[in-house]
């Protein structure tokens, strides 16, 4: 019977033979199935596609093909999720990577991404959000004016609400570029335009902003309930208090000068790392503060205290002992860090996105 199978296997139609074997000769049937799998495996290894099939496999997907649409959507998701520039679609390395994953997909160019694909996705996402907003009775807005590294001013508007599942949700509605001539009246008009565009004007219970005079005046003109940001207010309280302390300002300047020196000198930075390893200290870099954020000053001082011994050693080895802090200076830093620690903790808690869910 086994030999009968071998002969019959050379023909295409073996269905009846398999049925007979499975019912009347189970042992021969199992052997036949193993032979069939081996034959298929060998055939697959030596299989050569037909000319027509090979030609079709070498063509790119048509842009209207479902596969192409799905891959294009994944590209847009990469840009929006990871905030990547649209030009990544034209980068040689990225294109090579995509071809390795699927040789038939042809990436769209930057112009198509910017003019067609991103606007289309924006409309789809906005439509979904507006449907969600229709079910929301009350919501709050936060807004802030900030300046980019290119010294361009922007105002960002974010809305916040709680879902029926008691989940806190936040969504950025729009970011607008301002000019130096944009007065409070113009900013107010922009805020109202955004609210009207999202059909939420009658649902706004509160708008929160920092204490800057321009945004505060604009919000006041909207007639919406306004509340200054707690963290920003706390920042002003601490900043105004520390600025009036001459002793503290003097020590702060010394530390800033030290940090600047280590940041600008490769030799000093490398030497600091060497001393840290020798003394088994945390291999941390010094932190430079930002004038507008008091908590950055707290971080700078706290990090310096941690690395004081190593920093002093490096300054002396490099002939910059005049920059070293005295013992009284260090005691002042420790006292300031100790006093400001509760304010830093509160600021971090108020600034955290998920702190409520962890309480």
Instruction: Concatenate the DSSP letters of all residues of 92-153 into one string.
Output: HHHHHHHHHH-TT--PPPHHHIIIIIHHHHHHHHHHHHHHHHHT-S-EEEEEEEEE-TT--E
Q: Establish if 359 belongs to a structural domain.
A: no
Q: Establish if 356 belongs to a structural domain.
A: no
Residue 93 belongs to domain spanning: 62-130
**237 phi, psi to nearest 5 deg:** -60, -50
- 3 state SS of 82: coil
Number of domains in the chain: 4
Last residue of a domain, one of 97, 130, 163: 130
Residue 244 has pLDDT above 90, yes or no: no
Q: Establish if 52 belongs to a structural domain.
A: no
Residues 243 and 190 in one domain: no
Residues 144 and 124 in one domain: no
Residues 329 and 248 in one domain: yes
CA–CA gap between residue 353 and residue 92 (Å, rounded)? 37
Residues 171 and 243 in one domain: no
CA–CA gap between residue 80 and residue 126 (Å, rounded)? 14
Last residue of a domain, one of 172, 200, 228: 228
- Are residues 188 and 154 in contact, defined by beta-carbon separation less than 8 angstroms? no
Q: Establish if 56 belongs to a structural domain.
A: no
Residues 118 and 210 in one domain: no
Contacts of 264 (CB under 8 A, 6+ apart): none
Q: Establish if 358 belongs to a structural domain.
A: no
If pLDDT is split at 50, 70 and 90, which confidence band does 352 have? low
Highest mean pLDDT: which range of 170-174, 223-227, 303-307: 303-307
**Average of pLDDT values for 238-257?**
88
pLDDT, one tens digit per residue, over 72-115 is 999 999 999 998 999 999 999 999 999 999 888 889 999 999 99
> Whole-model pTM?
0.62
Residues 278 and 214 in one domain: no
**178 phi, psi to nearest 5 deg:** -105, 160
pLDDT, one tens digit per residue, over 59-80 is 788 888 899 999 999 999 999 9
- Are residues 251 and 333 in contact, defined by beta-carbon separation less than 8 angstroms? yes
pLDDT, one tens digit per residue, over 281-314 is 999 999 998 876 778 889 999 999 999 999 999 9
What is the predicted pLDDT for the residue at 51? 53
């Amino acid at each position: 019977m086994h030999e009968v199978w071998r002969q019959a296997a050379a023909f295409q139609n073996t269905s009846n033979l398999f049925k007979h074997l499975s019912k009347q000769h189970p042992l021969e049937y199992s052997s036949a199935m193993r032979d069939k799998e081996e034959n298929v495996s060998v055939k697959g290894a030596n299989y050569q596609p037909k000319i027509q099939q090979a030609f079709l496999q070498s063509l790119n997907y048509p842009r209207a093909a479902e596969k192409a649409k799905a891959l294009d959507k994944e590209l847009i998701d990469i840009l929006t999720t990871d905030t990547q520039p649209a030009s990544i679609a034209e980068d040689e390395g990225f294109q090579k990577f995509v071809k390795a994953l699927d040789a038939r997909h042809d990436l769209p160019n930057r112009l198509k991404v910017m003019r067609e694909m991103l606007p289309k996705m924006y409309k789809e996402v906005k439509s979904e959000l507006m449907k969600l907003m229709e079910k929301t009775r009350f919501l709050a807005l936060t807004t802030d004016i900030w300046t980019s590294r290119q010294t361009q001013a922007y105002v960002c508007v974010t809305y916040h609400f709680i879902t029926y599942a008691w989940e806190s949700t936040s969504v950025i509605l729009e970011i607008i570029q301002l000019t130096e001539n944009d007065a409070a009246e113009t900013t107010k008009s922009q805020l109202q335009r955004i609210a009207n565009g999202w059909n939420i004007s009658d649902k706004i219970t509160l708008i929160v902003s920092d204490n800057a005079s321009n945004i505060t005046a604009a919000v006041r003109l909207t007639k919406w309930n306004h509340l200054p940001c707690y963290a920003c207010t706390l920042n002003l309280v601490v900043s105004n208090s520390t600025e009036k302390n001459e002793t503290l300002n003097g020590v702060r300047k010394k530390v800033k000068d030290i940090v600047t020196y280590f940041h600008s000198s490769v030799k000093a930075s490398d030497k600091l790392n060497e001393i840290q390893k020798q003394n088994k200290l945390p291999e941390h870099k010094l932190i430079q503060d930002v004038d507008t954020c008091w908590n950055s000053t707290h971080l700078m001082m706290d990090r310096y205290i941690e690395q004081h011994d190593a920093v002093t050693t490096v300054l002396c080895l490099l002939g910059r002992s005049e920059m070293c802090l005295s013992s009284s200076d260090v005691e002042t830093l420790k006292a300031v860090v100790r006093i400001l620690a509760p304010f830093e903790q509160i600021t971090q808690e108020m600034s955290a996105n998920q702190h409520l869910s962890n309480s």
